[in-house]
Amino acid sequence: MKIQYSLFDTLLEPIFVLNAELKVVYCNEPAALIAGHTIRKITRGMKFPELFSFSDDIPGMKDILNVCDATPYKEVTFTTPQGGSGKVQVTMQPIFDSMGDKNWIVFVRDVTLEERLQSKYRAELEQKEDVIKALEDAKAQLENYSKNLEQMVAERTYELSRLNQTMSALLDSLGQGFFIFGADGKILDVTSKACEVTIESRPQGQFIWDTLKLSADKVDGFKKWMQTLFMEMLPFEDLSPLGPPSYPHSLGRNIALEYHPLRSAEGTMEGVVVVASDITSLVEAQRQAETEKQHAKLIINMIKGKREIRRFIQEAQNMLAEIREEVTNDNETVDRENLFRHLHTIKGGAALFSVKKVAERAHEAENILSELNRHWSHPAYIALRGKCFEIEEAFNQFLAETKEILGSSAMNDERQIEVAITKLNHIARRVGTLPGGGPVAQDLILELVMESVSSFIEPYNDVIMGLSAKLSKNVAPLEIKNGSLMVVPEIYNTLFGTLVHAFRNAIDHGIETPEWRQSNGKSAEGHITADVAIVCNEALPYLLIKIQDDGQGINPEKVRAKLTSQGKDVSKESDQDVIQHIFDSQFSTRNEVTDISGRGVGMDAIKNAAENLAGKVWVESQIGQGTCIHIQVPYLTEFDHSLETSTKPSKSKTKKAA
């Protein structure tokens, strides 16, 4: 029951209101009169036991916190420090003020008042008979008021109870969970019925951190945040977003939490109102919108890069066939490293072309495979197999969409120009055997079979821009040097497909945040360069690809420490030798796996693709200056149809560049 104390001002009986410390927070004029002090003095910190000395203990006065109902009237005599005395009847009961604070009201009936009035008026009766009539009238009024006092209080209590019921009904009509917690973290009695759905309970009396199901390691941080709120060290609007944004619903519903201040009439913080809203439908709509956005982006990518999509399809089909063959074997001999490379490369390519479902399923399969590497179990292996089939199913769905957009030609195993490329290559060989046909054959290959390196690398600019935005990093568009250099796509498709890992690592591990770069004397904008060239080594031409960033570089000590923790002895290796271990299978300096990095299979995939072309990779890095990945493979200009199913070229097909 909440009440305004001013309604007691007109009562003739002494009324005191005490807090839990027995301090008088309110008294009326009769109360001040019987205590022998002014109202102002009494309510400025005086305790009730300081006002009176009673002949016997008042029920509940020594244990006021446990007084939950009205105590029976107790008749006692009293004296005051000012010399006053008398006989009174005293009762007390709990009461809530207009701000919701719990206090206790003390009713005092002065039973000696009548005796004192009679004595006074008898003396005056000798002088004026009309005073006797006034005394009798006052006596009658006093008796009548005393008789009706309890009924008046009961009626007022009933009225306030009805108001509280109305307030509860209004709260229960809301579709949102509504509750309030105080500075001690306890939730007050005022809650809405919707709490039973949104936060799965009526939380009154609970601690807020228990209601929100905070883990033990987060409770201390929450208490500090809560303390800062009530101390108002910063504006509430700035601090409230730091609170838990959602409730972990057991049924998977999305419950958003909002925080609002509850202030007293003086403007001080008295509580925090928490509003719990079920936004499951909104989140689902946003997810659907994101799916449609990704689908639209997929269509745009298909239209803009038909050749790149075709390459991705062909490479993914080959890798999925290998994955299916691997996981079909029901034993532990599966080549896990090869599986990691294929899954990671498929995920990177799918992310590049916004094939979201394929990328998500590949990431989930990587998680299962990581667990299998730590602890092999047959059920987990069966789960991996199922997830790999889900990747294939999602990929086939993507193929159906691709066919609708690009036509069935996108599904062909061979790249279509005007004739099959194998036949064109055969024709070029025959032309080359004719007198003076060598230059003609070379031109035929160059003009109709080969494509510029930039057509392979330019699409990765979307990866760089998207990932830098996601990680709040500022990166300039990718710079490609000598991008006009021509290569046979079927030979280098797999190698160029793995370069997605180099660009993702450059953003995630290399380029720093704008603030860090500026504080260390760099421009806020990071730069990544892809440089392509043909170099000769032992009279053979080689294709050299360098991917360089101006980021923080690779810290050899960090790599060395990671290797040591894995039980590898690298104490005798130089820093340059140590950083080459980034190409080791499943090596990563990340302690946590994200959807960007941490698997340790990206750089391994590049190395594997280069070695399949009889090439090699290495890295050079300088702390604070940047990193450069070197990829060197034979420069091949003749294509054999067998290369479509095997990326490793035959030595007989290696030819010097013209």
Q: Higher model confidence: residue 309 or residue 474?
A: 474
Average pLDDT over residues 337-352: 86
Classify domain 283-411 at the CATH topology level: Four Helix Bundle (Hemerythrin (Met), subunit A) (1.20.120)
Q: Once rounded to an integer, what is the mean pLDDT over residues 327-344?
A: 80
Q: For residue 584, what pLDDT band results from cuts at 50, 70 and 90?
A: confident
Q: Distance between CA 170 and CA 14 in Å, rounded?
A: 36
- Alpha-carbon gap, residue 542 to 633, rounded angstroms: 5
Per DSSP, the residues of 244-300 read: --EEE-TT--EEEEEEEEEE-TTS-EEEEEEEEEE-HHHHHHHHHHHHHHHHHHHHH
Q: What is the mean pLDDT of residues 255-280?
A: 90
Element (DSSP H or E) covering residue 337: helix 336-352
* pLDDT tens-place string over residues 473-521: 999 999 999 998 988 888 898 899 899 999 998 998 899 999 999 999 9
pLDDT at residue 292 above 60? Answer: yes
**pLDDT at site 310:** 76
Position 478 scores a pLDDT of: 93
Answer whether 2-170 and 283-411 agree in fold: no
Q: Hey, which of 143-147, 163-167, 525-529 has the most confident mean pLDDT?
A: 525-529
Q: Please check the confidence at residue 370 and state whether its pLDDT lies above 70.
A: yes
Domain 451-653 fold: Heat Shock Protein 90 (3.30.565)
At the top level of CATH, which class does the domain 177-278 belong to?
alpha beta
The percent helix, strand, coil of the chain (3-state, each to 5) is 50, 20, 30
**Residue reference for tokens 């299998």:** 372
* pLDDT of 258 over the 60 cut: yes
**Structural Rg of the chain based on CA atoms:** 42
Write the CA distances from 507 to 184, 474, 552, 597, integer angstroms: 45, 10, 11, 11
pLDDT at position 294 over 80: no
In 44-128, alpha helices (H) = 48-51, 113-125
Predicted pLDDT of residue 411: 53
What is the tally of helices (H) and strands (E) in the chain?
23, 19
End-to-end CA distance of the chain: 97
Looking at residue 178, its pLDDT comes to 84
φ/ψ of residue 66, rounded to 5: -95, 5
Q: Where are the alpha helices (DSSP H) in 36-128?
A: 39-42, 48-51, 113-125
Q: Given this model, what pLDDT does residue 223 score?
A: 93
Contact status, residue 572 vs residue 484, Cβ threshold 8 Å: no
Q: Look up residue 6 and give its DSSP letter.
A: G
Give the pLDDT score at 107: 93
pLDDT range class, residue 13, cuts 50, 70, 90: confident
Query: Is pLDDT larger for residue 6 or for residue 524?
Result: 524
User: What pLDDT is recorded for position 55?
Assistant: 92
643 band by pLDDT with thresholds 50, 70 and 90: very low
The model's confidence at residue 404, banded by pLDDT at 50, 70 and 90, is low
CATH 3.30.230.10 at 2-170, yes or no: no
Domain boundaries, the chain: 2-170, 177-278, 283-411, 451-653
Say if residue 152's pLDDT is above 90.
no
Over residues 38-59, the pLDDT tens digits come to 999 999 989 999 999 999 999 8
- Tell which wins on pLDDT, 159 or 286: 286
Q: What is the mean pLDDT of residues 423-440?
A: 67
SS3 88: strand
Question: Of 598, 306, 301, 343, which is closest to residue 462 (Cα–Cα)?
Answer: 301
Across residues 217-242, what is the average pLDDT? Answer: 90
